Chain A
Amino acid sequence: METTSEEQNEHGVIFWVAVIVGAIVAGVGVRGVFHQFPLGQQRYVFFRYLVVSDLTHDIIVAPVLFIVGWIASRISPPWLRAPLAFGGFASAISLAIAWYPLQGTASYKQNPTFQPLNYTTAILTVFAVAWGIAAVWAALRFRGRNTLPAKAAR
Chain B
Amino acid sequence: MSLDQMWKKLPRSLRSGPPKVGPFKPGAFSSRLHDERTAAILGIALGVSFLVCFITGLYSHQIQHPASWFKAFPRPAGLYRLSQGLHVTTGIATLPLLIAKLWTVFPKLFAWPPFRSVGQAVERIFLLPLIGGALFLLYSGINNINGRYPYEKFSFPEAHHWAAWITIGSLIVHIGAKVTTTRTALRRGYGARTSTVAGGVASPTSAMSRRGFMGVAFGTSALVTVFTAGQTFEPLRKLALLAPRRPDTGPQGFPVNASAVRAKVARADLATFRVRVHGRGIATKEFTYDELKAIGLHSAELPIACVEGWSSSQHWTGVSLRDLLDHVGAPHDADVTVRSLQKRSNYGQSRMNSSIARDRDTLLAMQVNGEELHIDHGFPIRLMAPNTPGVRQTKWIKEVEVH
- Per the bound structure, the CA–CA distance linking A88 and B29 in Å amounts to 22
Known contacts A97-B242, A106-B147; decide if A18 and B204 are in contact (CB<8 Å).
no
- Per the bound structure, the CA–CA distance linking A21 and B170 in Å amounts to 10
User: Would you give the 0/1 interface string for A60-89, flagging 1 where the beta carbon is closer than 8 Å to chain B?
Assistant: 011001100110110000100110011001
Residue B146 lies at the interface, judged by CB distance under 8 Å to chain A: yes
- Within 8 Å CB of B259, what residues of A? 109-111
Return the chain A residue nearest B228 by Cβ: A97
Instruction: Give the interface SS of chain B, mostly helix, strand, loop or mixed.
Output: helix
- Per the bound structure, the CA–CA distance linking A56 and B47 in Å amounts to 22
- Within 8 Å CB of A98, what residues of B? 241-242
Return the chain B residue nearest A111 by Cβ: B259
- Within 8 Å CB of B170, what residues of A? 22, 26
Return the chain A residue nearest B211 by Cβ: A154
Q: Which of B133, B219, B242, B251 contacts A86 (CB 8 A)?
A: B219
Residue B68 lies at the interface, judged by CB distance under 8 Å to chain A: no
Residue B1 lies at the interface, judged by CB distance under 8 Å to chain A: no
Judge whether A106 and B216 touch: CB under 8 Å. no
Return the chain A residue nearest B180 by Cβ: A9
Shortest distance between the CB of B166 and any CB in chain A (Å):
4
State how many residues of chain A have any CB contact under 8 Å with chain B.
90
Return the chain A residue nearest B98 by Cβ: A57
Judge whether B119 and A105 touch: CB under 8 Å. no
Shortest distance between the CB of B109 and any CB in chain A (Å):
6
- Per the bound structure, the CA–CA distance linking A31 and B334 in Å amounts to 34
User: Would you give the 0/1 interface string for B109-146, flagging 1 where the beta carbon is closer than 8 Å to chain A?
Assistant: 10001001111101100101101110110010011001
Known contacts A94-B227, A111-B256, A117-B241; decide if A26 and B99 are in contact (CB<8 Å).
no
Q: Which chain A residues numbered 117 to 147 have a C-beta less than 8 Å away from chain B?
A: 117, 122-123, 125-126, 129-130, 133, 137
Judge whether B153 and A37 touch: CB under 8 Å. yes
Judge whether A10 and B190 touch: CB under 8 Å. no
Known contacts A29-B166, A82-B212; decide if A14 and B148 are in contact (CB<8 Å).
no
Residue B223 lies at the interface, judged by CB distance under 8 Å to chain A: yes
Judge whether A85 and B208 touch: CB under 8 Å. yes
Judge whether A100 and B128 touch: CB under 8 Å. no
Judge whether B215 and A86 touch: CB under 8 Å. yes
Return the chain A residue nearest B257 by Cβ: A111
Residue B7 lies at the interface, judged by CB distance under 8 Å to chain A: yes
Residue B197 lies at the interface, judged by CB distance under 8 Å to chain A: no
- Within 8 Å CB of B120, what residues of A? 3, 7, 10-11
Known: A29-B168, A42-B153, A62-B103. 18 other contacts (CB 8 A): A10-B180, A11-B117, A22-B172, A36-B154, A65-B99, A73-B208, A82-B208, A86-B215, A89-B217, A90-B96, A93-B96, A97-B228, A100-B244, A109-B147, A113-B245, A114-B255, A115-B245, A123-B241
